[in-house]
Amino acid sequence: MNTADLELPVSVPSTALFTDQYELTMLQAALRGGTAGRRSVFEVFTRRLPEGRRYGVVAGTGRVLDAVENFRFDPEILEFLRTQRVVDETTLDWLADFRFRGDIHGYPEGEVYFPGSPIMRVTGTFAECVVLETVILSILNHDSAVAAAASRMAVAAGGRPLVEMGARRTHELAAVAASRAAYVGGFAKTSDLAAGFRYGIPTSGTSAHAFTLLHDTERDAFQAQVDSLGSDTTLLVDTYDIAEAVRTAVQVAGPELGAVRIDSGDLLLIAHRVRQQLDELGARQTRIVVTSDLDEYAIASLAAAPVDSYGVGTRLVTGSGHPTCSMVYKLVARADSDAPDAPLRPVAKKGLGGKSTIGGAKWAARGRDAEGIAETEVVGGGEVPEHLLDAQLQVPLVRQGAAVAREPLDAARDRHRAALAGLPLSAAQLSRGEPVLPTEHR
């Protein structure tokens, strides 16, 4: 989401140093060698999904647009590069006027992807494209990993709402990005106020064990919270004895108590006992929220439990064991000169250990069966077959340096929901398996 659309007072610093030094040294050598102006095409893709995953989720696209827009070499940055002797004066002069003026196409945010999918295509001069490699990969690898974990957790939750609460388990800035990605992947709220402030994600939170321990009795703590936040609040009931806490919570808040939260123990067993106790106390509408190091497997194991919502932290913000998507940014086509009309020719890496690439700029489309369910991810070069014209996945993101695909974050969230609905049912399986769609290269 473009934060300007929300009229929020958020300033974004330059992203120009979110890069690796070799990008600037390549730039310097290309400028000196006369090849920097050659028209080039770079593509972002992954050779494989994390082991056992059935699909990937594109997330971070909106942040990439912001990062490209803010990729500016301010005087302080140029002085740092000069002092550290990273590049020469000719290159510094070029960087001082840098603005990306090329084009970017890609899968829209929230879409799913598979091995070999050309998730993003960056076109421009070699010089202006090569310097964007690290910042683009940094954003897409992190956000897509979190979104994929979030998606799997949302599928496992079966429609029960999830709250992202992992800010204390990762870097403070990564926490904001993780909240955003989790929302795209299907989470309903976040505990991180910075994410709510920056991206408009709904926030939630009430109290921790420290609040209960602060008071002389658990009743005093519950009374203070209800007096402050109202009877619809969520009371944490596992500081001491859960059964006694539930009884006290209903006595203090009445049958209108909003929810109780359980953060430890055998959640399946405890949830059933707490539900029975709440019902017996007349608090039939009181919800049960569970937390405690959940992941998609733990959530799936609670499918039959009387749980109303989940709070997830560590496993979510670390990609549930896969904190990166292993996306790469590779040159796939370039011109033989810097003439604007010089034709592009495919180039490819012939690497060992599965690191080879397929040359040429590529299109992508999703083949579907008669019921509209996806059957295959089709990736090709040249002309798009007529029967796949309406099934293309890539959309314009940036034209001549200007972002053209800014959208509310809810649009990406809705797109992901629709993309999942269009996949075979086996996409929802948590058991290990191959990608749910094969990638067909043409």
Q: Of the candidates 193, 192, 183, 190, which has an alpha carbon nearest to the alpha carbon of residue 408?
A: 183
Q: Report the top-level CATH class of 3-131+326-441.
A: alpha beta
Residue 208: strand, helix, or coil: coil
Residue 9 is predicted with a pLDDT of 42
In this structure, are residues 397 and 157 in contact, taking their beta carbons and an 8 Å threshold? no
Q: Which two tokens stand for residue 265?
A: 């123990």
Residues 6 or more apart whose CB falls under 8 angstroms from that of 77 comprise: 14, 16, 17
Given strand 103-106, what is the order of strands in its sheet? 344-346, 327-335, 39-46, 120-125, 103-106, 395-399, 402-403
Residues 6 or more apart whose CB falls under 8 angstroms from that of 287 comprise: 234, 258, 259, 260, 308, 309
In this structure, are residues 30 and 126 in contact, taking their beta carbons and an 8 Å threshold? yes
Residue type, 288: I
In this structure, are residues 40 and 123 in contact, taking their beta carbons and an 8 Å threshold? yes
Q: What is the mean pLDDT of each run of 10 residues along the chain (442 residues)?
A: 46 86 98 98 97 96 96 96 98 97 98 98 98 98 98 97 97 96 98 97 97 98 98 98 98 98 97 98 98 96 97 97 96 95 94 84 96 97 94 98 97 98 95 93 92
Q: What is the DSSP letter of 49?
A: P
Q: Cα 306 vs. chain centroid, distance in angstroms?
A: 29
* Domain definitions of the chain by residue range: 3-131+326-441, 147-321
Q: Which residues pair with 41 in a beta bridge?
A: 123, 333
Residue 79: strand, helix, or coil: helix
Q: Which two tokens stand for residue 55?
A: 């699909």
Asked, colleague to colleague, whether 3-131+326-441 and 147-321 share their fold, the answer is no
Q: Round to whole Å and give the CA distance between 420 and 377.
A: 14
Q: Round to whole Å and give the CA distance between 50 and 212.
A: 41
Q: Which two tokens stand for residue 136?
A: 């683009």
Q: What is the DSSP letter of 426?
A: G
Q: Which two tokens stand for residue 438?
A: 């094969």
Q: Cα 91 vs. chain centroid, distance in angstroms?
A: 34
Q: Round to whole Å and give the CA distance between 365 and 375.
A: 11
Q: Is 3.40.50.300 the CATH number for 147-321?
A: no
